[in-house]
């Protein structure tokens, strides 16, 4: 990675920290490029949002590589995470408080493994009310926070793999390979319903987008240090 490559166009894989928004990561890198190299008009964008409560692979594109964002976004994605059975939240994750609890004592491991088959293939999914999808000119989460009721249409998504990797009730570890537009929060909620119970997503990490892998991603602090180091090298 060089200054010239960044200006011309580069794809940079970042391991997004927990609690950061994808937009905050983009802004941070844009700020560092501006202040370190004096680059004022460089385009920087990301290829696929990660929720603040998710960590993992976030792909940044600079310069001419921003034209590749749509192609990268369209590639299949791999996630690992944890579903907590026995409780639901309005946001389907930990952003909101638990609003209903369920008894999980009668759910067997066999039932948990078997329930995944309902969600493999082309399925219909209802996005969470706490999401960035626009409805009537506002984001759905804006409607939700205002206490407004809105109709949310189902979406067609494709799930290539939904595998349970560990069960430690009430927590269920999983790996999912899915298409663009899949909400893992909705998958967690629907998984609970399939077990005649409740569930929400308690942890999520994106590990792959197409051929891009979290193993090749920069830690954000390390990337920033590398950018500063580049500026000290002879031109």
Give me the active site residues, please. 51
Residue among 88, 79, 80, 81 at smallest CA distance from 193: 88
Q: CA 76, CA 59: separation in Å to the nearest integer?
A: 13
List C-alpha distances in Å: 84 to 18, 87, 107, 144, 166: 18, 7, 13, 23, 12
With b meaning 16 or more CB within 10 Å and e meaning fewer, what string describes 179-203?
Answer: eeebbbbbbbbbbbebbebbbbbbb
Measure CA 161 to chain center: 17
């Amino acid at each position: 990675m060089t200054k010239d490559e960044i200006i011309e166009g580069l794809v940079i894989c970042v391991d997004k920290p927990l609690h950061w928004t994808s937009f905050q990561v983009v802004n941070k890198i844009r700020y560092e490029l501006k202040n370190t190299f004096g680059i004022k008009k460089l385009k920087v964008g990301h290829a696929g949002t990660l929720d603040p409560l998710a960590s993992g692979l976030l792909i940044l594109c600079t310069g001419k590589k921003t034209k590749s964002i749509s192609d990268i976004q369209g590639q299949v994605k791999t996630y690992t995470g944890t579903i907590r059975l026995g409780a639901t939240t309005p946001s389907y994750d930990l952003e909101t408080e638990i609003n209903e609890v369920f008894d999980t004592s009668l759910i067997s491991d066999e039932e948990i493994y078997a329930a995944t088959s309902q969600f493999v293939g082309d399925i219909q999914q209802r996005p969470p009310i706490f999401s960035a999808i626009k409805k009537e000119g506002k984001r759905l989460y804006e409607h939700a926070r205002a206490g407004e009721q809105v109709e949310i249409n189902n979406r067609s998504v494709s799930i290539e793999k939904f595998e349970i990797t560990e069960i430690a009730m009430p927590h269920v570890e999983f790996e999912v390979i899915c298409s663009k537009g899949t909400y893992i929060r909705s998958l967690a909620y629907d998984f609970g319903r399939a077990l005649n119970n409740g569930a929400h997503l308690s942890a999520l990490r994106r590990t792959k987008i197409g051929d891009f892998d979290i193993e090749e991603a920069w830690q954000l602090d390390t990337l920033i240090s590398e950018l500063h180091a580049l500026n000290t090298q002879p031109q």
